[in-house]
Amino acid sequence: MSPYPLLYGQGYFELEQISPGQRLHPKAADAFLKMCAAAQQDGITLAAYSSFRSFQTQSVIWNDKWHGKRTILDSFSQPLESGQLNNEQKLWAILRWSALPGASRHHWGSDLDFFSPALIHKNADFELIPATYLPGGSHFHVYQWVFENAAQFGFFFPYHDDVGATAPEPWHISYHPLSEQYHREHQLHELTHIIQNSDIAGKTTIMNHLAEIYQNYFNHINQL
């Protein structure tokens, strides 16, 4: 078993609450709150939409999608009919937008999805999809501000460009001083052990493709 179960979303490590329901590693929290204050100076209200997630939380998302209780989106953010997919198709479709539990950067407390709560009331149809953050979307100017300023606070965009596996997530930022180390320490053999011992939906299909998943969805990111 890993000496660092927290890298796989298991066990507990120190987290700091940055807003109701949102927690980050204290160092990432500090950096993010500084960035939020700087954004506010420029008239942009910035907050975490989703931050730390445990293996358990990620499993609920994963299992719901596998069992058709939660919508699976295609590459164009359109809903797929999960009942018409075979297990392998379902696997790749879910992975496009959701990390495999145990291999999510959200387990680390270093990564978060940002949004602007100030814009949500006006845009009840807020969705965490690229169109929201692209030109013409409600969060485009927020994204632009973060894109220009994130690096000076230690953040980068691991899923900024479409590299073919994980969909582009212009809202996902990562605190590099922590996540670079966590990524290096994360091990396929430990993930294998964790998945094998979990009751995750689609386990056989996942196990058949775990090395490929690990390479294409976990290791393959945009660098700082």
Q: How far apart, in whole angstroms, are the C-alpha atoms of residue 13 and residue 103? A: 17
Q: How far is the CB of 112 from Zn ion (least distance, A)?
A: 7
Residue 172, interface with Zn ion (CB under 5 A)?
yes
Residue nearest to Zn ion (CB): 172
Q: Which of 15, 39, 223 is nearest to 110 (CA)?
A: 15
Residue 160, interface with Zn ion (CB under 5 A)?
no
CA gyration radius, the chain: 17
Residue 139, interface with Zn ion (CB under 5 A)?
no
Sequence-distant (6+) residues with CB within 8 A of 174 are: 105, 110, 111, 155, 156, 157, 158
User: Would you say 58 or 211 has its CB closer to Zn ion?
Assistant: 58
Q: How far is the CB of 106 from Zn ion (least distance, A)?
A: 6
Q: How far is the CB of 52 from Zn ion (least distance, A)?
A: 11
Only one of the segments 16-24, 26-34, 64-72, 171-179 lies at the binding site for Zn ion (rule: CB under 5 A); that segment is: 171-179
Q: Counting Cβ atoms within 10 Å, is residue 218 exposed (0-12), middle (13-18) or buried (19+)?
A: buried
User: Would you say 64 or 113 has its CB closer to Zn ion?
Assistant: 113
Sequence-distant (6+) residues with CB within 8 A of 192 are: 207, 210
| Among 16, 30, 64, 113, contact with Zn ion (rule: CB under 5 A) | 113
Residues within the interface to Zn ion (CB under 5 A): 113, 172
